[in-house]
Amino acid sequence: MFLHFSSYFGNLFKISLFRFEKISHMKALVLKEKHQALEYKDVETPSPKEEEVLVDIKAAALNHRDVWITKGLYPGLKFPCILGSDGAGLLDGKAVIINPSSNWGNNPSFQNKDYKILGLPDDGTFAEKVCVPRNKVYPKPEHLSMEEAAALPLAGLTAYRALFSRGKVKQKDKVLINGVGGGVALFACQFAIATGADVYVTSSQASKIEKAIELGAKGGANYTSPDWVEQFQKNIGGFDLIIDSAGGGGFNNLVKLANFGGRIVLYGATRGIITELNPRIVFWKQLSILGSTMGNDEEFKDMLDFVDLYQMRPVIDEIFDIQDGNVAFEKMDKGLQFGKLVLRIDN
């Protein structure tokens, strides 16, 4: 009887403790529905599950993926959601960077079916805190600021795999980076220059070509001008390796510009379906057209080591306070940036 009595009061106590337990909150940029502005608001702080940790985010960065999601142009949409694949911050007082790539699986050549990227389906880094698997957290490269480190993960990883694992870039290769204003493209440009390749770029804006030349590119052409392919053919000849995220009708130009035995690595479809691809050129020139997506954990580690070895710094176009996230999204949507758009989080 006594036992029953005490457990009754014990349970009451537990219930009241539970009821008054303070739910902690954090600020986050929340996407409530597609085609809506993001809302900077209080949400419940996530609780790490087993094998997860809660990182205090200090800086996060945008990728075009985030823009596609706000437009409803990405598979597996879920609302409300906190976007953001890129982040750097603090874990147990130590500066860390997050690998946004999960469930790659055992085959380094391609990802598992349940592969996922931080920021959809799981809530991402545009928040004061994020839950991530413990093994996705790496020490921040020491020479980088929090903002520079946040700019690196998704785009750096994608560029690294596209250029090295898939494109097999070598010293003195003639490399063309198509649309160098893109976040991934600019890392591919920087990595290829560091490798000792002869790097050329295209862009829709002369100012971006000039900035790429300042970084070490040998030249460039504006892909909106009618004779840009002929300009390259006349002045450079062709390319051993071409890195592209546009696809679309312009892809055939890249096939024209590839050297015999050339490789074209494609990691995006910004301009949609590839039309008018001439198969004769593909087989006659013995071309390899290679798809590439994100990268495995080993490539993430290799990418960090590469950045460390060459003391490379991501190019940052602009840093915004997280409250002004919508302005950053607008800038990326218009393609105005050269380098990464970073959100600073003061928590």
Ligand X SMILES: NC(=O)c1ccc[n+]([C@@H]2O[C@H](COP(=O)([O-])OP(=O)(O)OC[C@H]3O[C@@H](n4cnc5c(N)ncnc54)[C@H](OP(=O)(O)O)[C@@H]3O)[C@@H](O)[C@H]2O)c1
Distances (CA, A) of 51 to 25, 56, 115, 154, 343: 22, 17, 17, 22, 27
Least distance to ligand X from the beta carbon of 341, Å? 8
Least distance to ligand X from the beta carbon of 211, Å? 10
Q: What share of the chain is helix, strand, coil (3-state, %, to 5)?
A: 35, 25, 40
Least distance to ligand X from the beta carbon of 67, Å? 7
Specify the DSSP class assigned to residue 255.
Answer: H
Least distance to ligand X from the beta carbon of 269, Å? 6
Cα separation, 161 vs 179, whole angstroms: 18
Least distance to ligand X from the beta carbon of 94, Å? 28
Closest CB to ligand X among residues 65, 140: 65
Closest CB to ligand X among residues 56, 333: 333
Specify the DSSP class assigned to residue 162.
Answer: I
Closest CB to ligand X among residues 242, 322: 242
Cα separation, 244 vs 287, whole angstroms: 15
Binding stretches for ligand X (CB under 6 A):
63-65, 68, 155, 158, 178-185, 202-205, 208, 223, 245-246, 248, 250, 267-271, 293-294, 332, 335
> Where would I find the H helices in the chain?
2-20, 64-70, 146-151, 153-160, 183-195, 206-215, 228-235, 251-257, 279-284, 297-309, 325-334
Closest CB to ligand X among residues 124, 250: 250
Closest CB to ligand X among residues 26, 152: 152
Closest CB to ligand X among residues 138, 228: 228
**Tokens standing for residue 334:** 């218009």
Least distance to ligand X from the beta carbon of 75, Å? 12
Cα separation, 167 vs 240, whole angstroms: 9
Contact 175, 200 (CB under 8 A): yes
Number of Cβ within 10 Å of residue 279's Cβ equals 8
Coil vs helix vs strand at 82: strand
Least distance to ligand X from the beta carbon of 191, Å? 14
DSSP string, 169-221: --TT-EEEESSTTSHHHHHHHHHHHHHT-EEEEEES-HHHHHHHHHHT--EEE
Closest CB to ligand X among residues 28, 185: 185
Angle (CA) 40 158 94, round 5°: 60
Closest CB to ligand X among residues 68, 306: 68
Least distance to ligand X from the beta carbon of 68, Å? 6
